[in-house]
Structure 1
Amino acid sequence: MAGVPSSSSVPTTPLLKDELDIVIPTIRNLDFLEMWRPFFQPYHLIIVQDGDPSKIINVPKGFDYELYNRNDINRILGPKASCISFKDSACRCFGYMVSKKKYIYTIDDDCFVAKDPSGNQINALEQHIKNLLTPATPFFFNTLYDPFRDGADFVRGYPFSLREGAPTALSHGLWLNIPDYDAPTQLVKPRERNTRYVDAVLTIPKGTLFPMCGMNLGFNRELIGPAMYFGLMGDGQPIGRYDDMWAGWCAKVICDHLGLGVKTGLPYIWHSKASNPFTNLKKEYNGIFWQEELIPFFQSTTLSKESTTVQKCYIELSKQVREKLSKVDPYFGKLADAMVTWIEAWDELNPSTTAIAPEANGAADKK
C-alpha cells in the first residue's frame, strides 16, 4: 500500500509519530517500558493510574507522557467521572477520551516485546499502524487473508467491485506465552502456553462478533473512538474482566453498521504473567452466565439508518441495552446510563469531533 513501508524497510521517522498516542493502564511502576523503548520512545504516552491516587508511579526517563490518577479523572469529568471504572483496567478508556490524536495503541504493563520465529523482535506498534492504514475486507472473505500485505492479493473469484475495501477502524493483536483465557480454562489448563506464531492478518467478516482483548490493541480514534467504552467494571460492580469484550461487541456492531473494518492477527506481544484464576473467577462469575444472553443480543441488534455517526449509534445501542438486557440483571440499566454519560463526557472533551462517513475515507491505494 502506498505510504506504508514494507517489513524489510526501516522508516527514517516513526510512522504516525504526531498522530498516535499510546494508552497504558497501570497500578505499578512502568519498568516494562525499558524493553519497549526502541519502539515507544518517539510517541506520546497517556498513563491512566488505577487504584490509590496517592501512590507514586515511576516512569523511566526519556519518555514523553502525561499521567492521570483518579483525582484527575474526578477533576476533569466532575459528576460524569462515574462512567469511568475504578480498580479495573477498564479505566484505560479515559485515556482514549482525553487524547487528541487520530490513532490509539493500548497495551498492558505485563506485555513485553515478542520475537518472531526467526528470533527478530516484533515491533507491534508498527504492525498495528500498517493494519490501520490499509483497508479491511469485511464484505467478502479473502482466503489469502489480508490482501493488502506484501506478497498477497485478492484471489480468483473475489469481486472487483469490493476490492477497494473499507476503512480499518480497529486492529486486534494477539499474544505469545500466556493465552487470554477465562478463569475456568485457566484452571483446567494451568500450564498451557501459546508458542504458535501464525503469520497472518485477516478481516473479521461483517455480522461476526469476536472476543476483543484490550492488552494489544490499536484503533482509529476518529472513526470508532466514541464506541471504545470499556463499561462499568471492577470496584462496586457485579462483573469484571469483560470490559474489553463489551467494547469489542459494541464497536463491531457499529463498525458493521457504518461500513468499517476490524482486523485481527499480527502483531504478537509476549504476555508475561497469568493472573490468578481464582480471583478471575470471582470477577467473571456473572459474565460467564450473562454472555449467553449478551452474544445473542448483539448478534440480533440492528441500528437505524438515522444513526449516521458513532455517537448516534452508541446512544441507540444504549437504549437497546436498557430495554432488552435489564431483564437479565438490573446492572445493565446502570450500564446503559453510563454509556450515555460516556458519550456526553466524550463530546464535552472533544467538541469538534465529527464522525467521518465511511465513503469519505477513500481506501488507500494498493500496489
Structure 2
Amino acid sequence: MAQPSTPVSPPLKDELDIVIPTIRNLDFLEMWRPFFQPYHLIIVQDGDPSKTIQVPDGFDYELYNRNDINRILGPKASCISFKDSACRCFGFLVSKKKYIFTIDDDCFVAKDPSGKEINALAQHINNLLTPSTPFFFNTLYDPFRDGADFVRGYPFSLREGVPTAISHGLWLNIPDYDAPTQLVKPRERNSRYVDAVMTIPKGTLFPMCGMNLGFNRELIGPAMYFGLMGDGQPIGRYDDMWAGWCTKVICDHLSLGVKTGLPYLWHSKASNPFVNLKKEYKGIYWQEEIIPFFQSLALPKECTSVQKCYIELSKLVKEKLGPVDPYFQKLGDAMVTWIEAWEEHNNPPAQAASKPEPNDKKDKPSAKSK
C-alpha cells in the first residue's frame, strides 16, 4: 500500500487574514472550505448589530459588529462606513498579518476551462509573492509565471521588478458593472476566461473591485481605506474605486506594483440596478472630476511612507475636490482619522516587515470560533 504523502502547510498560513464584510449567514464558506479553512477569518458584520450571524463550524474566525467598531475605535469609528461594504476596511485595520485577502459573500469557487476548481487564494498569494513590472510592459504579460519570461527588447536593468503590493482578481458570471450598464445589459454574463496576469503600468489608473482582492498590508495597508460610503453619505458603491485610485498613485510614487487578471471567482448575485443607481449617481458625475485629479496628481519627494503619502493626499482632496462638493472636505478629514486610527492600533509601519503580533485584548470582537 502506498504511503500517504507528507502534508504540505498551506502557503502563508500564519501570515494572511481573510476579511469578509457581510449582513447575512456565511453559508457560502462551505464551498470555499477546502481553500479557506486553514486560514484565519475576520468577519465584519454590517447592519443591525443585534442580529446573529451564523458561521459554519470548523473555521477560525473573529466576528466584529458595529458595537465592536464603536467600542474599539471610539470617536474615530466615524471613519468606518455603515451599510456599505466599505466597512471591510475595519478588518484591514485590526488585522496583524502581513497579507490580506478580501472577498464578498456572494462570490463562489469558479472553474477554469478544463473544469478544475480555481483556488483563488493561492493565485493571489502567487501574485503577491512575485515581482511586478510597472515601468516597462512585457508583451507576454507576467514574466514571472511558469512558461513565460521577459521578451526580446525588455531592458535588463528593469527585469528585477518591484515588490507587488496589490493583486486584483476578476469574476465570471455577473460582471462588475455600474448601474447604467446593468440597465442596458441586464442579461449579460461574463463567460470569458483569460489566462493572464499583468502589471498595471505606472501612471495608469484602474477601476479596483473589492470583491476579489489581495494585498500586502505592510506595503500598502494604510492607503487601503474604502472612504465614507453608505448610510449618511451622498454616495455608495465607490468605496473600492476610491481605495483603488488612492493606492495606485501611492504605489506609483513609492515604486510598488499592482497586478490584475487571475484569479477568477464566480460572482453569483446581480444587485438591483435601480438601487445601485441611487447610490452611484453622484459618483457617476463626480468621477469625471475625480479621475483627472488623480491623473494629474504628483506627490512630493518628502512623502517616503504610505502614511505620509496618504496625509498629503487628504490635503489635496480637500483643496482640489472640496470645491466640487462639501462631501470631499468631509472625506479628506475622514482620511486623516483613518490614518490616526491605523497608527493608534500599533500596526506595523507600512514599509517595515515586522513580525505579526496577536490582537490586543481590548480589540477582542464579539464572537470567536476555533
Structure 1 residue ranges without an equivalent (≥5): 1-9, 359-367
Instruction: Give secondary structure in 1 for the equivalent of 2:63.
Output: strand
* Structure-to-structure mapping, 1:1-367, within 5 angstroms: 12-351=8-347, 353-356=348-351
CA separation of 1:11/1:127 partners in 2, compared to 1, >3 Å: closer, same or farther?
A: farther
**How many Å separate the matches in 2 of 1:350 and 1:242?**
28
Equivalent AA in structure 2 for residue 137 of structure 1: T
1:11 CA drift (Å): 7.7
Instruction: Give secondary structure in 2 for the equivalent of 1:225.
Output: helix
Q: CA offsets, 1:150-179, max 9 Å, x none?
A: 000000000000000000000000000000
Equivalent AA in structure 1 for residue 170 of structure 2: L
Instruction: Give secondary structure in 1 for the equivalent of 2:222.
Output: helix
**How many Å separate the matches in 1 of 2:339 and 2:46?**
22
Q: Does the Cα contact within 8 Å between 2:84 and 2:231 map onto a contact in 1?
A: yes
Instruction: Give secondary structure in 2 for the equivalent of 1:317.
Output: helix
Equivalent AA in structure 1 for residue 337 of structure 2: T
Q: Does the Cα contact within 8 Å between 2:248 and 2:258 map onto a contact in 1?
A: yes
Q: Does the Cα contact within 8 Å between 2:218 and 2:352 map onto a contact in 1?
A: no
Q: CA offsets, 1:257-288, max 9 Å, x none?
A: 00000000000000001000000000000000
Structure-2-length-normalised TM-score: 0.93
1:53 CA drift (Å): 0.1
The CA RMSD measured in Å over matched residues stands at 1.3
Structure 2 residue ranges without an equivalent (≥5): 1-5, 354-370
**How many Å separate the matches in 1 of 2:298 and 2:248?**
12
Equivalent AA in structure 2 for residue 354 of structure 1: P
**How many Å separate the matches in 2 of 1:180 and 1:349?**
33
Q: How many residues align?
A: 349
1:355 CA drift (Å): 2.8
Instruction: Give secondary structure in 2 for the equivalent of 1:173.
Output: strand
Identity %: 87
- Which portions of structure 1, spanning 4 or more consecutive aligned residues, are displaced by more than 3 angstroms? none
Q: Does the Cα contact within 8 Å between 1:124 and 1:268 map onto a contact in 2?
A: yes
**How many Å separate the matches in 1 of 2:346 and 2:222?**
10
